[in-house]
Amino acid sequence: VQLEEDNFILSIAKQFPIKSTASLYGIGDDCAVIPYNDNESYVITTDALVEGIHFLKEQIPPFALGYKAIAVNVSDVAAMGGRPLYAFLSIAIPAQIDTAWLQIVMDGITQTCKQWNIELLGGDTVGSKRDIFINITLIGKALQSGLRFRHTAKKDDFICVTGNLGDSHGGLQILQNALPSCSEQDALIKAHFQPNPHLEEGLCLSKQAGVHAMMDISDGLDCDLRRMLSASGCGAIIETTQLPISENLLKICKMQQWDPVHMALEGGEEYCLLLSVAENDMEEVQKAYERACKKKLHIIGKITDTSALQYQTNKKNVSISLQKFRHF
Amino acid sequence: VQLEEDNFILSIAKQFPIKSTASLYGIGDDCAVIPYNDNESYVITTDALVEGIHFLKEQIPPFALGYKAIAVNVSDVAAMGGRPLYAFLSIAIPAQIDTAWLQIVMDGITQTCKQWNIELLGGDTVGSKRDIFINITLIGKALQSGLRFRHTAKKDDFICVTGNLGDSHGGLQILQNALPSCSEQDALIKAHFQPNPHLEEGLCLSKQAGVHAMMDISDGLDCDLRRMLSASGCGAIIETTQLPISENLLKICKMQQWDPVHMALEGGEEYCLLLSVAENDMEEVQKAYERACKKKLHIIGKITDTSALQYQTNKKNVSISLQKFRHF
C-alpha cells in the first residue's frame, strides 16, 4: 500500500517539477514550503482520516478522533522545524450521524487547535453517503535556517529517533485482538489514540546545524527510513539492540509472544521524529537536546554510502522480514 | 442542508473569534486571509467533492471531475480578488478503483492546475472503503487593496452578477431526468460539468473601489445573496426580469415547462460572481469591466436597509417559493 502510494505521488510530482529553494519546495516531504519573508517560510501539510481506513467509529473515542486529526498534521510541521499557526478543516458527514458524537469530535478538533495556539481559519462542511472523512490542512511557519528535509542525510551521519517505537502499533494490536485491560495495555492504547507530536523536539533540533535530515515516523521506522534513504541516495545500518522500546510494550510482547523488534520497525502512527546528525556534531546536538527537552536522543544506527538498509543485532547482520504497516 | 451547514460553521467560528484586519481573516468568507507582505496577502480556500453527494461516478466524465475539483476553488479565490498559486490535494480512493479512470481524474487535476499556473505542492493519498473523496486546498495571493468580502455591502448599492444564472442547474436536471441530447442541452450539461470560474472578472472588479462586496455563487443566487445580506446586515430588492438567463436554458425551460426564474434563483454550482457596487460608482465600474472583460455586468437589484430579500417582477412585489439546492 505504501509503495503504491509513493509511486502514485511520484507520478504527480513529476508533472510539477519544482526547484528546491530556501523559499519554495513542493511534493516529497512532510510539508511543502512557500515564501513568507526573507527569514521565514510558511510550511504546509494536509492529512486525511477516513472511516474504516484510519479509524473505526465504534472503536475510537470521538474526542481522540478530533485530537488525532490535528496532531498528525502538527507532527508534519514539527518534522520540518516549524510551528503550527492556521488550520483548515474539511469534513464529510453522513446524514444519519449522531450529532452528540460529532460535537465531541469537533470539541477534540477545536480544543487541540487551542492547545497548540492554532487558529481554525476555514473549511468545508459537506455531506457523505456512508463514511466520515476528515481532512486538515495545516499551515505553520519556520525559520528558513531551521527548515529540515528528508533528502539531506549524509554518509556517516548518526541516525536518531526522538521517542519509543512500536507503542502505537502495540495499542492497535491490543484493540484488534480485544485483549483484556491492564495498565500496560491502557498506556499503549493511549499512545495509539493520542499520539504526541514532537513539536518542541523538532524546534530544538532545527536550531542545530548538525541535524542534516529530519522527518516524522507515520508509517513505521522501516518504511519511513527507507523513504529518507531513497530521497538522500544513501543506505544505513540499524542496530536492533538500540531501538528504544518501552517497558510497557516489552511486557505485552512477552505475554503475547510478539517480537518487539518487529513491532518497533513495522509500527505506524508513531509520530516521533527520525533524524540524521553529522558525526562530528553528535555530542553537541545531544547536549543541546538534553538541555532543552530533558531527555536523550536515541542513536539507532548510521548512514552508509550503500543503497541498502542493513539491520544488525550486536553488530552482526540479520535479515528481518517485515509486514507493511496497515491501519486496519 | 445549507442552513444546517451555515449553523455548524457558525458554531465553529464562535470558538475562533478573529479580528478582521487587512492581513488576517478567518471563517465566514470564500477564503481566509493570512499575511504575506505589506501590500499583499495570501487567500486560502478548501473544498471537498464527495462521491454520491457532489458527483456520481457513473455520470461525470473523469476529466471533468478533476477539472471541477480545482475550478470550484479557483472560483473562491476569484471571489476574494485573488489569483491562485498553490494547490494541495487529498484524495481517498477505494481499493477496487479502475486505475485508468483514476488516471484521467488526475490528468484533469494536473492539467487544470497548469491552465491557471497553479503549482500542485503536496497532498495526501489514502484509501477509502467505498466512496471517493477529493479535497483541494488552494492558496492564492491578492493585493490587500483588492481584497473583497461578503460582509461589506451597503444600502443603495447595486447588486450585480457576472454571468448567466441557472445553466449548471439546468444541466443537472437534464442529466437527472435523462432527457434526450440536443445542442442546447449539451451546452447546459457542459456548464454543469465544466463551470467557468470568473477569475479575470474578479481581478478586474477587485481594482474598482466602487465594488463594496463580492462572493461567488455556489449554492444558488437566492441562498448566496441571503448570506451576503446576513453578513452585511442589509436587505435587497431583486428584479426578476433582470436576471440573466441564457437562450439555451430558456428553450429547455419552455420544452420541459420548468420556471426559468426558479432555475436562476435555486441553481447551485454556478460559479459566477455576485457583487454590490456603490450607486455613484456604477457607471465607472461598468465601463472598466466592459473594457477589461468585453462583456456587461448584469444589474439585478439594489441593497436596502431592511433585513428582507424582496423579489419584484416589473417593480411589483412577488412571492417566490424556492426549493433549496441539492446536488443530488
- pLDDT of A234-274, one tens digit each? 999 999 999 999 999 999 999 999 999 999 999 888 899 99
- Predicted pLDDT at B248: 95
Grid cell, residue A208, equals: 542545530
Q: How confident is the model at residue A19 (pLDDT cuts 50, 70, 90)?
A: low
Is residue B231 within 8 A of residue B277, CB to CB? The reply is no
Residues of chain B with C-beta less than 8 angstroms from the C-beta of A54: 126
pLDDT at B258: 94
Residue of A nearest to B138 (CA): A137
For chain A, say whether B126 makes contact (Cβ under 8 Å): yes
> Residue B180 has what pLDDT?
84
CA–CA dist A182, A167 (Å, integer): 15
Cβ pair B123:A31 closer than 8 A:
no
Report the C-alpha gap between B62 and B59 in whole angstroms.
Answer: 9
Residue A123 C-alpha, separation from nearest chain B C-alpha, in angstroms = 6
Span B5-20, average pLDDT: 71
pLDDT of res. B241: 97
Question: What pLDDT sits at residue B179?
Answer: 87
Contact residues on chain B for A139, CB-CB shorter than 8 A: 34, 44
Place of cell 447546459: B188
Give the nearest chain B residue to A91 (CA atoms): B48
Question: Taking the CA atoms of chain A, what radius of gyration do you get in angstroms?
Answer: 19
Is B219 or A9 the better-scoring residue by pLDDT? Answer: B219
- On whether the CB atoms of residues A1 and B106 are closer than 8 A, the answer is no
Q: In what order do the strands lie in the sheet with A32-35?
A: A32-35, A40-50, A133-143, A83-94, A119-128
The verdict on A326 touching B (C-beta cutoff 8 Å) is no
Q: What is the pLDDT of residue A100?
A: 93
pLDDT digits (tens, 9 = 90+) for B86-105: 999 999 999 989 999 999 99
Q: φ, ψ for residue B27 (rounded to 5)?
A: -60, 140
pLDDT of residue B322: 83
Section A170-199 average pLDDT: 90
B251 and chain A in contact, CB less than 8 A:
no
Task: Report how far residue B207's alpha carbon sits from residue B209's, in angstroms, rounded to the nearest whole number.
Answer: 6
Residue B15 forms contact with A (CB below 8 Å): yes
- Supply φ then ψ for residue A9, to 5 degrees: -65, -40
Cell of residue A296, nine digits = 536523550
Residue B32's pLDDT band, with cuts at 50, 70 and 90, is very high
pLDDT of residue A3: 55
> What mean pLDDT is predicted for residues A269-293?
96
Give the rounded distance of the alpha carbon of A298 from its chain centre: 16
Judge contact between B262 and B253, C-beta under 8 A: no
Q: What's the complex ipTM?
A: 0.90
Predicted pLDDT at A160: 98
DSSP string over A283-296: HHHHHHHHHHHSS-
Q: Do B135 and A135 touch (CB under 8 A)?
A: yes
C-alpha distance from B294 to closest chain A C-alpha (Å): 33
**What are residue B84's DSSP bridge partners?**
B140
Cβ <8 Å between A88 and B46: yes
Chain B contact present for A27, CB below 8 A: yes
Which of the two residues, B275 and A4, has the higher pLDDT score?
A: B275
DSSP string, A72-122: HHHHHHHHTT-EEEEEEEEEEEETT--HHHHHHHHHHHHHHHHHTT-EEEE
Range among A80-84, B126-130, B180-184, B267-271 rated most confident: A80-84
3-class secondary structure, A196: coil
Task: Report pLDDT for A7.
Answer: 76
For position A180, what pLDDT does the model report? Answer: 84
Whether the predicted pLDDT of A6 surpasses 80 = no
pLDDT at A61: 95
Interchain CB contacts (distance < 8 Å): A and B: 185
Of the candidates A242, A88, A230, A231, the one whose C-alpha atom is nearest the C-alpha of residue A165 is A242
CB contact under 8 A, B135 and A124: yes
B134 touches chain A (CB under 8 A): no
In this complex, is the C-beta atom of B105 within 8 Å of any C-beta atom belonging to chain A? no
Q: How confident is the model at residue B21 (pLDDT cuts 50, 70, 90)?
A: low
Instruction: Determine the pLDDT at residue A239.
Output: 98
Q: Tens digit of pLDDT for each residue in B246-300?
A: 999 999 999 999 999 999 999 888 899 999 999 999 999 999 999 999 999 999 9
Predicted confidence at residue B250, as pLDDT, reads 96
Mean model confidence pLDDT for chain B = 92
Mean pLDDT of the A27-52 span: 92
| CA dihedral sign, ordered A314, A318, A324, A326 | negative
Do A241 and A314 touch, CB atoms closer than 8 A? yes
What digits encode the pLDDT tens for the residues B53-68? 999 999 999 999 999 9
